């Protein structure tokens, strides 16, 4: 019984912190002044938020589902870093030279 309670508490804490980081990334997207700082806030916070949500869901997942959750998290890590790099390059090229 106590092991189930510990698993529930771990899941609640991890998913709550993950949701907090998603919210922080959204606030950074809205509040920061330029494209590069918005992109930085969004990618860092969302990657950490998704990692915490995935970590919180892992104790409830059995074999193949746990593997799928980890694969989705890894895929998002690679795709978000690639897309943010492309957006940052485009923003840097379109920025007026001082």
Q: What pTM value is reported for the model? A: 0.84
The residues spanned by each domain of the chain are 2-94
Q: How far is CA 20 from CA 10, 13, 14, 17, 46, in A?
A: 15, 10, 10, 5, 10
> pLDDT digits over 65-82, tens only?
999 999 999 999 999 889
Q: What is the mean pLDDT of residues 40-50?
A: 89
The model's confidence at residue 1, banded by pLDDT at 50, 70 and 90, is low
């Amino acid at each position: 019984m106590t092991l189930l309670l510990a698993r529930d508490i771990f899941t609640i804490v991890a998913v709550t912190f993950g949701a907090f980081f998603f919210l922080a990334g959204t606030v950074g997207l809205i509040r920061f002044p330029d494209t590069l700082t918005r992109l930085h806030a969004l990618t860092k916070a969302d990657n950490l938020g998704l990692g915490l949500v995935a970590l919180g869901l892992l104790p409830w997942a059995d074999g193949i589902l746990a593997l799928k959750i980890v694969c989705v998290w890894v895929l998002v890590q690679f795709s978000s870093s690639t897309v943010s790099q492309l957006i940052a390059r485009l923003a840097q090229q379109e920025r007026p030279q001082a």
